[in-house]
Chain A
Amino acid sequence: MQATLNDLVIRIGGEAGHGVESSGAGFCQALTRSGLYVFGLPDYHSRIRGGHNFYTVRVSDRPLYAHSDRIHLLLALTEETITRHQDALVPGGAVLYDTRLKVTAEMMARDDVLYVGLPLSEMAKEKSGTELARNTMALGFAAGITGLDLGGIESVIYDNFARKGQAVIEGNLDAARWGQAEGARYAAQFPFKLQARPDAPRRLTVSGTQAFAMGALAGGCRFCAGYPMTPGSPVLHWLAAHSARYGVAIKHTEDEIAAICMAIGAAHMGARALVPTSGGGFSLMVEALGLAGMTETPLVIYNAQRPGPSTGLPTRNEQGDLLFTIYASQGDFPRFVLAPHTVEACFVAGWQAFNLAERYQTPVIVLSDHYLAVMTRTLEADAFDWDAVEIDRGELLTPAQLDALEEEYKRFKDTPSGISPRALPGHPKAVYVSDSDEHDESGHISEESAVRIQQMDKRMRKMVGMRAEMGAPLCYGPTDAEITLVGWGSTYGPLREAVDRLNARSPKRANMVNFTDLWPLPTNKAHAALAGTRRRIAVEVNATAQFATLLRAYTGIEMDDYIRKYDGRPISPDEIVQALEGSTPKVVK
């Protein structure tokens, strides 16, 4: 076994209700405060109690873009944690379990792994009065066995329990210290070490959800309506928590149809409006999406994808809504579909979406997914470029411009760009009715073919400007590689690490092209990025390689092979590398 420093993976597992997710998130923050980089990923079931939840924290001295399938230390709050995850342990790894559990000799199946039983529940109760502190104790153990200073964990305990009073803080500190002392006793048998970097600058611990919501707020989001649905609604929670302080009107609605309808009403009046949801909710919104398209209402929809069809796998991950999102609604109208690839990109998408929506007076759909929404990464303090944030309302007529208006105001005026100068309701010189029926330049219903053609052409003409707004795909790795991995959105991180690993083994083995601005598809930029590639392999987290279908339909570019994963779990760098060694077709299981 190879001893390592600041390069390991720790997993804590228990039942829903054991506080596994908050412990994992707290641990991520503690490690960031210790000057290390983390990649945190929760895995949970759709239930309030019971079942099996776990949280995996990958730690490093360098920025991390993806999770890893191999783990070094397993902190088990249930028997199932041991039986489910011990195979993922590297040789020399360790398992900590609560001696209150019924852990049998057969369960401890690995002879190259250290099993440590401690009376966690009992000691937690003694130290803090509640068994819940056993999580803190387990994290203290992780610090002890890896040799990590307890400072980061202590500071997070102070912050997280501040509202619960000094006794709770003290109890948890005692629990952590007891765990650390116990862990230190096994330190000599565990070769994977962590060392705080006290000289590191202060950094951020951020999830995709937080970054997107913060970006939306920065971009002037003033109205957010939603109905709870994993994994979209945490954006609604975040904005609700900040609503009073930052002046955002929040509405938890009776259903998703009401959510998008309220946002359309708010946007029509002039508020920047957001609708966070997931695929099932988006399905309900489709008729109203068409209304926004027909009435040219600027609107931002955030769809954090989860596996469908129907209820699918509610707490899991997939990139299965791409084609649905691009084509949802009867009839043709322009829309944007953006798929940010990292936590940092979620922030940018958050504010840019509102500018695109208002500049082109049409819906913008930000396509995230469960993986990107829940991943927690350490970022530099300047990872979010606040200076770059712009609020551009496009061709919005000011009250002074409306005062000076001489002729009749035409809301849907035919223009070379297809964009009609927009007046907000409330000005005496711009009194108008928008219509879901086809309408003329003034907004009046018309079934005349000339009017239909004029207005359809006017709307669709916006696609020219919209396509020009779309950025090129992100290329990474040597230009003349043997294979090119083609992905979109959140596969960026796993692909990037896979490319690094492949090239470390064999130089110029692989590069990658990852698309983020998906619709209108930047076809010229796609051609440029993929020109000269030798062997193209689509890597997608869905069953049918939906992006490859889109790319072929609009550019003629074909894939030579496909790596697909649709078991509801995010694809890892390890899986991508392994799939490239296997036979065709490549389905990751």
Chain B
Amino acid sequence: MVTRADYNSPEAVTWCPGCGNYGILNALKMALVEQGFEPHQVVIFSGIGCGSKLPRYMKVNGMHTIHGRPLAIATGARLANHGLKILTVHGDGDGYGMGLSHFAHAARRNIGIVDIVQNNRVYGLTKGQYSPTSDRGMRTPTSPEGAIELPVPPLALAITMGATFVARAYPGDLRHLVWVLGEALRHDGYALVDVLQPCVTFNRPSAYDFYNPRVYKLQDEGHDPTDKVAAWQKAFEWGERIPLGIFYQVHGQPTYEAQVPALQAGPLVAQPLTKLNAQQIDALQKELM
């Protein structure tokens, strides 16, 4: 039986004390164990940023890649080996800024990836600039007079783009985060888990004291995750009350990889890699005659 200890890495964690990423790391290990995945069956692609160091702090397969691109890299990995569980872990700058296009396309593709976005609504590793999900008016080194743009609405965007699993969780409620991640791991297709990640160093106004009194669980209030319009409306609820849980989930939508002809014979990497046979060569030569 796989245990949490199987996922322990010797690498020293470099996050700030109190960072929300500790909870995300623990919850992910717990969810993987609960869902019965062993470390060698899981591949995590992360971007660049504090949170993207997460696969470093686990015993797991993966690649710590470049800023904004882990979803594209994970998509190729999934197409090459859909026999393994593929995850991406990255921040809001990575996923909703630089990687916004890959995010929108992954959602409409329904590629089998669990996409975990550590959304702290600020750039941490580069020291506190405003992010695509920062509030309007937020004063930072790159917005000294206050941020002008509207924040990116990731959940509404994912639903609009055709994502089949759209959820939000919060490490202040670890058990709930583990449950959401577990449901995402069980989902067949693209699954977005937007995690409200407190950054106690660069975004203290949006840390635990802000979230704790505001968050509530959609599933406690009878939200129907198959109701797309209700999900979309809930995706814009932000203020006195902030919903957590599964906003939207639709089952039975075919995944991208299930529809690729070359993958019908099994994962690409499991198919034999041999020279073309005489019949195939003959057919190719005839095309040119």
Contacts and interface: CB of A to CB of B under 8 A. Distances in A.
Contacts of B56: 433, 435, 444-445
A470 interface: no
Contacts of A250: 262
Interface string B43-75: 111001000010110011111111001001111
Contacts of B44: 433
B206 interface: no
Interface stretch (A90-98, A251-259, A496-504): A251-259
B80 A249 contact: yes
A268 B78 CA distance: 11
A261 B76 contact: yes
A436 B65 contact: yes
Contacts of A324: none
A446 to B, nearest CB: 10
B261 A268 contact: no
Nearest to B7: A431
A433 B72 contact: no
A248 B43 CA distance: 22
A481 interface: no
A266 B274 CA distance: 18
Contact of B77 (A243, A258, A268): A268
Contacts of A445: 11, 53, 56, 64
B65 A271 contact: no
Contact of A258 (B48, B55, B105): B105
Contacts of A437: 64
Contacts of A290: 66
A22 to B, nearest CB: 16
B268 interface: yes
Contact of A249 (B60, B66, B263): B263
A262 B280 contact: no
Contact of A433 (B55, B260, B265, B288): B55
A508 interface: no
Interface range on chain A: under 10, 10 to 19, 20 to 34, or 35 or more? 35 or more
Contacts of A364: none
Given A381-B285, A426-B83, A431 B60 contact: yes
Contacts of A210: 288
A555 to B, nearest CB: 35
A222 B62 contact: no
A428 B40 contact: yes
A223 B79 contact: yes
B5 interface: no
B161 to A, nearest CB: 12
Contact of B261 (A244, A258, A393): A244
A209 to B, nearest CB: 12
B80 A269 contact: yes
Contact of B271 (A247, A261, A291): A247
A257 B276 CA distance: 31
Contacts of A204: 285, 288-289
Nearest to B108: A254
B1 interface: no
Contacts of A287: 66
A288 B80 contact: no
A159 B129 CA distance: 63
Nearest to A287: B66
Interface in A404-456: 424-428, 430-437, 444-445
Interface string B1-38: 00000000011000000000000000000000000001
Interface stretch (A173-181, A213-221, A528-536): A213-221
A444 B11 CA distance: 7
Interface in A4-53: 33
Contacts of A33: 289
Nearest to B64: A435
Interface in A194-223: 202-206, 210, 214, 217-218, 220, 222-223
Nearest to B59: A431
B41 A223 contact: no
Given A214-B284, A249-B268, A265-B74, A291 B105 contact: no
Contacts of B101: 254-255, 258
Contacts of B38: 428
A327 interface: no
Contacts of B288: 204-206, 210
Given A270-B269, A386-B276, A262 B79 contact: yes
A433 B45 CA distance: 9
B274 A262 contact: no
A223 B80 contact: yes
A258 B68 CA distance: 10
Contacts of B69: 257-258, 261, 288
Nearest to B282: A386
Nearest to B46: A433
A75 B269 CA distance: 51
A33 B79 CA distance: 41
B73 A264 contact: yes
A269 B81 contact: yes
Contacts of A436: 48, 63-66
B72 A253 contact: yes
7 contacts: A217-B276, A268-B77, A269-B268, A425-B84, A433-B56, A434-B63, A436-B64
Q: Which 5 A-B pairs have the closest CB atoms?
A: A265-B76, A262-B76, A261-B72, A265-B77, A266-B80
Given A218-B281, A269-B76, A270-B80, 8 more contacts: A225-B76, A253-B105, A265-B72, A268-B80, A269-B80, A269-B81, A381-B289, A425-B84
Interface of B: 10-11, 38-41, 43-45, 48, 53, 55-56, 59-66, 69, 72-81, 83-84, 101-102, 105, 260-263, 265, 268-269, 271, 273-276, 280-281, 284-285, 288-289
